[in-house]
Chain A
Amino acid sequence: MTAQRTISGAGVAAGVGLLALLPLAGLPAFYDSFLYMIFYWISLATSWAILSGFAGYFSFGHAAFFGAGMYTTATLSTKFGVPFLVTLPAAAAVAAALAFGIGAVVFRLKRLRGELFALLTLAVSFVVATIILNTAIDGGAGVLTSSVSVPRLMPTPSGTIYLLGLIMCVGTLAITYAIAHSRLGLGLFAIHDDEDVAEVKGIPTFRYKLIAFAVSAAIAGAVGGVHAIYVGFLTVSETFGISVPLYVVLMSVLGGARHWLGPAVGAAIIAASLYAFTSGEQAMIGRGIVAFILVVAILILPEGIVPSLRRWWQRRQSRRAAPPAMADAPGIATVTAPREAGATVANLHPPTRVVLEVGDVHKAFGGLHALRGVTLDIREGEILGLVGPNGSGKTTLINVITGHFPLTSGSIRLDGMEIGNLAAHEIAARGVARTYQIPRPFTHLTVLDNVALAAAFGAADLGRAASLVEARRWLDFTGLRAKENVLPADLNLHERKFLELARALAARPRLLLLDEVLSGLNPAEIDRAIGMIREIRAQGTTIVFVEHLMRAVVELCDRIAVLNEGALFALGEAGAVMRDPRVVSIYLGKAHAA
């Protein structure tokens, strides 16, 4: 595998080297210029996808960063005499700083996701354009850059521009590839699918989005710096027009915005098509044909060309390959939890050490008080049942413990350390994991990646290879190994429930919060799940078990806490609590209690 990668790397390097020497081949200068335009669009579209494609934060403001770069280079080189090449890092830095400033405010606000983010970035473009237009940077007169001295990196000016475009393009693709195959990339993909869950699974979503935004903008700024010299004359209306954001979106969508190579493929096709119909006679017809082809391509391949081809190739390969030799077929897993070296099986004596202290916790949503002063200790190695009627505050308590909702007041301490004011990903890193009552898998990630992600970002904090190994162990445990390469949409309900369990376990939690993990399962599946939970506890994991199915609660739990109307109603040994007439009354009514 390593040798194969080395050969591939050498092949790519040789290909880039040959491309770099192309201007020396004596081809007409138009090809330098034409290829530069291809590289230019590839760089812009790919840089856009780092935030908007990977993390799903659709931006219509890429022109702001591209334009900031253009005007930085134009201003520094024409007004201050700064050498052109020196202006390029400055162009990148200005654009990155702009994105960082915007992101630092916008990414903190949950309501600014989706279309509001797109509109906001479009507004940023207008604001930046207005500032440049109404200051000495442009002032409306435009900036002439054709006289800027460009170092002769190649024998001809068009060759030099070509080389700069190639460097930008290769650099952009390399950065994007690296991001797509890194923790950052995995985190961004998860943010794309479900940002709240991503945060709870341990992904520092704010930081990741900020990094992606700044990197995306920096590349656009540097590309703009080169392009300022290419066009020779800058005007605000052309620089900050809608065509750049529209083209990059179209290119990325066509090629596949979630794949590192997708925007490049889309950009190459669309940029080349700009030159396919330049005849003066057929100009309008040609543009119409290109538009029609693009519409058809997007309709046929809604995920984009590269992901569609990849999926087709994977299907073809899987048809050819022999069926995988799996230890367990789905649904017949042996219920044996993988054990870590050094892991201790919990003794069956009543545990005493407190893992989590919930102290006078309140949570209000406007006028609605979902939690009213809940105080509760959770002891190491125990299974604590959390029960109560619908609306009693069970899931809210889990959401508060995991940081999904901020506290209104009170304190939550994990191993004596306050976590009530921490972000969800920081709480996850300290060993708290949860499942969701309604499964919320990352829909565009495979079953394997869903679980591996939890291993990489949870308390386990594993590298890519180790996280895959860990994920496969838990997929074996839950009986999903045979489906590791399918998407969550291809799983049935109980498989999705077990996927929730697998990815919670892959984080190697110290405290596991199971939110109605048995609901919707049939009796056989329930028995199997109960067995799994016992196995998990046997490894020393502390479990909070939210469930309506009393048989399971009684079978599994050491203690039971009953919530009613947001307050702790009863707490104690399982059998005693379930016999408490007050508890029976809130579940079944006073007549039964009597």
Chain B
Amino acid sequence: MTRITRPWRRRHVLAGMAGALSAGLASAGRAAPSGQPVRVGSTLSLTGPLAQTGIVHKIAGEIAVELINSRNGLLGRPVEWVLLDDQSKPEVTRSLYEKLITVDKVELITGPYATAPILSAMGVAQRYQKLFLQSSMGIPKHLTYEMAFPATPFGPEPNKSYPKVVLDAMAGTPTPPKSIAILTSKFPSAQFMAEGTRDVAKERGLNVALYLEYEFGTRDFGAIAARVKDANADFLWLGALGLDSNLLLEAMKKLDYTPKRHFHLYPAPGPLALSPDGDLALSSTFLEPAPPFTDRADVPQLAAMYKERATKANVPYAELDAQGAGMYSQWQLLEQAVNGAKSLDDKVLAQWLKKNGADTVFGKQRFDGAFNHGEPGQMVRQVQNKKWVVVWPTQFAPPGVKLIAP
């Protein structure tokens, strides 16, 4: 078990030495939390196939716990994060949440990463009537538990809302696309979004020149690239996971084909941004470590601390992005609910969140819609000069940055 209580003081000092962060961590004026720690349990995929993203959540979660403890903890008590490794297995996730609740007797829980572990853990939370916060579940309709809350603003129907954002961005360019090719991995959340994009594209009168699903784990994109080239659509929408994007772009390059515009749902951000093929690639995001997001409370500190630790941990893409921010947001929800409701009672906390929402790194979040989801907050980002920048909606783009549409 990871118990983050004592180390936080040392890390606090280290973090304070990180230049601009020190202001945010200056807690001299506040009372340090004391007494028995509030034990918060969760699992993350620290080994197994999801471990690459699991480490991102771990780093962000550790920062969140340190910062909460640097303030006033929860109800004046320090937070102890009891973190277990679910090994990327839903069945292990389930039993470890049962362990956290019935053996370790944690007072609160937060959710794991990825759809299947989240749904396994949610079942346990529901049986024990625990507040359940998670940040990476892209299919809200499965979150049927009344005390489950999203820490990332997907909105209740991201399959409808997000395609609108992406296609709005395209429609706002001087030469809006008239045709679209949609490819997607047969991964539940990606496929869910691809189907929504197809529907919205048709509603808007776009010609869906190609709709193709490929198996999760596909590595040879030669034949798929040929289909994309044949379709030669104005806009390529790719429900990609991880390195799918790079592999597909490379395969198309071998066919002397470069898509005019290309969007990638969940790519590996570093490899795509740094690849020559990834220039001007579009992708989804909720936050980037740049203005105007850095005007929000906690974001500058979080971004700097995250970058430092992610670099140290050899995370391939050391910039804060939606995954790390989502984990941090989970803890923000917990902190605000506990301190706002002045309670550790799960039902009271759920009612408080439902009523008040929370101010997170993603902005103000409300939970008054279907499946406890509020307004969607998806944005479009683009690789420009080998960096991701938000380009749509335009009010979230950094000064001087615009969507480049070849």
Q: Do A and B come from one complex?
A: yes
Contacts of B144 in A (CB 8 A): 147
In the assembled complex, A352 has its CB within 8 A of some CB on chain B: no
Q: Is B47 within 8 A of A238, CB to CB?
A: no
Minimum CB–CB distance from A232 to chain B (whole Å) comes to 5
For B101, what are the chain A residues with a Cβ–Cβ distance below 8 Å?
A: 29-30
B91 with A233: CB separation less than 8 A: no
Verify if A37 is at the interface (C-beta below 8 Å from B).
yes
B130: interface (CB < 8 Å): no
Binary interface profile of B, 40-59, with partner A (CB < 8 Å = 1, else 0)? 00011011000000000010
Q: B365 near A: Cβ within 8 Å?
A: no
Is B319 on the interface with A (CB-CB < 8 A)? no
Q: Is the CB of B99 within 8 A of A34?
A: yes
In the complex, the answer to whether A231 meets B83 with C-beta atoms within 8 Å is: no
A280 surroundings in chain B (CB, below 8 A)? 1-2, 44, 46, 58, 83-85
Which residues between 260 and 315 of chain A lie within 8 Å of chain B, taking CB atoms? Answer: 274-275, 277-281, 283-284, 286-287
Instruction: Verify if B10 is at the interface (C-beta below 8 Å from A).
Output: no
Are A37 and B46 in contact (CB-based, < 8 A)? no
Tell whether, in the assembled complex, residue B188 and residue A37 are in contact, meaning their CB atoms are under 8 Å apart: no
A109-144 to B contact mask, C-beta < 8 Å, 1/0: 000000000000000000000100100000111101
Would you call B94 and A230 a contact (CB within 8 A)? yes
Please give the distance in Å from B28's CB to the nearest CB on chain A: 30
CA distance A233 to B120 in the complex (A): 7
Q: Which residues of A contact B123 (CB under 8 A)?
A: 146, 232
Chain B contacts with A in 110-125, Cβ cutoff 8 A: 115-116, 119-120, 122-123
Could you tell me if B215 and A133 are in contact, using CB atoms closer than 8 angstroms? yes
What separation, in Å, do the CA atoms of A147 and B217 have in the docked complex?
29
When chains A and B are docked, how far (Å) is the Cα of A354 from the Cα of B132?
Answer: 85
- A30 and B142 CA atoms in complex are apart in Å by 24
Is B92 a contact of A274 with CB atoms below 8 Å? Answer: yes
Q: Are A144 and B90 in contact (CB under 8 A)?
A: no
| A34 and B95 within 8 A (CB) | yes
Task: Please measure, in the bound complex, the distance between the C-alpha atom of A116 and the C-alpha atom of B77, giving whole angstroms.
Answer: 62
Residues of B within 8 A of A28 (CB): 98-99, 102-103
B46 close to A232 (CB less than 8 A): no
Q: Does A253 contact B (CB under 8 A)?
A: no
Q: A30-B99, A34-B99, A232-B90 are in contact. Are A237 and B1 (CB under 8 A)?
A: no
Interface of chain A residues 11 through 63 with chain B (CB within 8 A): 28-34, 36-37, 40
Q: Does B186 contact A (CB under 8 A)?
A: yes
- Whether B192 lies near A141 (C-beta < 8 A) is yes
B219: Cβ under 8 A from any A Cβ: no
B87 lies within 8 A of A274 (CB): yes
Question: With A and B bound together, what is the CA distance between A117 and B187 in angstroms?
Answer: 30
* Chain B CB within 8 A of A363 CB: no
Q: Does B96 contact A (CB under 8 A)?
A: yes
In angstroms, Cα B188 to Cα A16, docked, is 40
- CB contacts (< 8 Å) of A507 on chain B: these are none
Q: Does B30 contact A (CB under 8 A)?
A: no
10 cross-chain pairs, A with B, having the tightest CB-CB distances, nearest first:
A280-B83, A140-B186, A28-B102, A280-B2, A283-B85, A33-B95, A233-B119, A283-B46, A30-B99, A142-B188
Could you tell me which A residues sit within 8 Å of B by CB distance?
28-34, 36-37, 40, 130, 133, 139-142, 144, 146-147, 156-158, 227, 230-233, 235-238, 243, 274-275, 277-281, 283-284, 286-287
Write the residues of chain B forming the contact surface with A, with a CB cutoff of 8 angstroms.
Answer: 1-2, 43-44, 46-47, 58, 83-87, 89-92, 94-96, 98-99, 101-103, 115-116, 119-120, 122-123, 127, 142, 144, 186-188, 191-192, 213, 215-217
Excluding A37-B92, A280-B83, 20 further A-B contacts by CB distance (< 8 Å) are A28-B99, A29-B98, A36-B95, A133-B186, A139-B191, A144-B119, A146-B123, A231-B120, A232-B120, A233-B90, A235-B188, A237-B216, A277-B85, A278-B43, A278-B86, A279-B85, A280-B1, A280-B84, A281-B2, A281-B83
